Amino acid sequence: MPLLFHFGWVQPPVLGSIKKTVNTAALALFFHSFELYFTRMKCTLHTLLLLLLCTQIQAQRWQQHADYQINVDMNVQKHQYNGTLRLAYTNNSPDTLDRAFWHLYFNAFQPNSMMDIRSRTIQDPDARVGSRISKLSPEEQGWIKVKKLSQNGRPVKYEQQETILETYLAAPIIPGETVVFDVEWDAQVPIQIRRSGRDNREGISYSMAQWYPKLCEYDEQGWHANPYVAREFYGVWGDFDVKITIDKQYVVAAGGYLQNPQEVGCGYEDPKKPLNLPAGNQLVWHFKTPNVHDFVWAADPDYTQTSIVAEDGTTMRFFWQKGKGYDEQWGKLPAIMSRARTLMNQRCGPYPYREYCIIQGGDGGMEYPLATLITGNRGLNSLVGVSVHEQLHSWYQMVLGSNESLYGWMDEGFTSFAEDWVMNQLAEEGLLPGKTAEKDPYEGAISAYTALAKSGTEEPLTTHADHFNTNYAYSLASYVKGGVFLIQLEYILGKETFDRGLLRYFHTWKFKHPNANDVTRVFEKESGLELDWFKEDWVNTLNTIDYAVKSVEKEGRKSTEVVITRIGRMAMPLDIMVTYTNGDQALFYAPLEGMRGQKPAENKIERTILPDHRWVEPTYTFQIPSSAKKIAKIEIDPSQRMADIDMENNTWVSPD
Between 482 and 494, name the residue whose CB sits nearer to Zn ion: 482
How far is the C-alpha of 333 from the C-alpha of 323, rounded, in Å?
16
Site for Zn ion in 221-240 (CB under 5 A): none
Task: Sort residue 634 into left (φ over 0), alpha (ψ -120 to 50) or beta.
Answer: beta
Q: How far is the CB of 502 from Zn ion (least distance, A)?
A: 18
The binding track of 289-328 with respect to Zn ion, each residue x by CB under 5 A or -, is ----------------------------------------
| Element of type H or E holding 510 | none
Q: How far is the CB of 390 from Zn ion (least distance, A)?
A: 7
CA distance 397 to 237: 12
Q: Give me the 480-509 binding string for Zn ion, x by CB under 5 A, dash otherwise.
A: ------------------------------
Calpha distance 360→348 (Å, rounded): 26
Sole window of 88-96, 220-228, 404-412, 579-587 interacting with Zn ion (rule: CB under 5 A): 404-412
Go through 60-74 and write b for each residue having 16 or more CB atoms within 10 A of its CB, e for each that does not: ebbbbbbbbbbbbeb
Whichever of 231 and 535 has its CB closer to Zn ion, that residue is 231
Give the residue with the Cβ less far from Zn ion, 349 or 594: 349
**Which three-class secondary structure state does DSSP give residue 27?**
helix
Spell out, one character per residue from 405 to 424, where the chain touches Zn ion: x when CB under 5 A holds, - when not: -------x------------
Instruction: List, as one string, the DSSP characters of 131-197.
Output: TGGGG--TTT--EEEEEEEEETTEE-EEEEETTEEEEEEEEEE-TT-EEEEEEEEEEEPPBSSBSBE
User: Which of 276, 275, 280 shows the shortest CA–CA distance to 247?
Assistant: 280
- Own/partner contacts of 493-500, CB < 8 Å, gap of 24 or more, are 493/523, 493/526, 493/527, 493/529, 493/599, 494/599, 494/600, 494/601, 494/602, 495/602, 495/603, 496/600, 496/602, 497/526, 497/527, 497/599, 497/600, 498/523, 499/347, 500/526
Q: Name the residue type at position 349.
A: G
CA 106 – CA 296 distance, rounded (Å): 14
Residue whose CB is less far from Zn ion, 227 or 482:
482
Q: Quote the CA–CA distance of 260 and 355 in Å, as a whole number.
A: 16
Min dist CB 505 to Zn ion, Å, is: 18
Toward Zn ion, which CB reaches closer, 412 or 458? Answer: 412
Question: Binders of Zn ion among 326-385, rule CB under 5 A?
Answer: none
Q: From the CB of residue 166, how many other CB atoms can be counted at a distance below 10 Å?
A: 16
Nearer Cβ to Zn ion (412/575)? 412
Q: What's the number of CA atoms in the CB half-sphere (13 Å) around residue 354?
A: 6
Cβ contacts of 270 within 8 Å, gap of 6 or more = 261, 262
Size of the site for Zn ion (CB under 5 A): 1
Which residue number, 343 or 392, has a Cβ lying nearer to Zn ion?
Answer: 392
- Minimum distance from residue 497 beta carbon to Zn ion (Å): 27
Rounded least distance, CB 488 to Zn ion, Å: 20
- Give Dmax (Cα) for the chain: 96
Question: Residue number with the shortest CB distance to Zn ion?
Answer: 412
Task: Please state the closest distance from residue 501 (CB atom) to Zn ion, in A.
Answer: 22
Q: How far is the CB of 603 from Zn ion (least distance, A)?
A: 31
Q: Which is nearer to Zn ion, 116 or 412 (CB)?
A: 412
To the nearest whole angstrom, how small is the minimum distance from the Cβ of residue 393 to Zn ion? 6
Q: Which is nearer to Zn ion, 83 or 408 (CB)?
A: 408
Residue 335 CB, nearest distance to Zn ion (Å)?
A: 23
* Residue number, 412 or 602, with CB nearest to Zn ion: 412
Task: Determine the Cα angle at 354 with ends 353 and 356, to 5°.
Answer: 85
We find the least distance from the C-beta atom of residue 242 to Zn ion, in angstroms, to be: 24
Measure Cα distances from 66 to 131, 217, 291 in Å: 36, 10, 9
* Beta carbon nearer to Zn ion, 409 or 588: 409
Which residue's CB is nearer to Zn ion, number 367 or number 458? 367
Least Cβ distance, residue 202 to Zn ion (angstroms):
20
Could you give the C-alpha distances from 429 to 67, 157, 167, 382, 499, in angstroms and in order?
Answer: 42, 59, 54, 17, 21
* Residue 347: CB minimum distance to Zn ion, A: 17
Q: Which residues bind Zn ion (CB under 5 A)?
A: 412
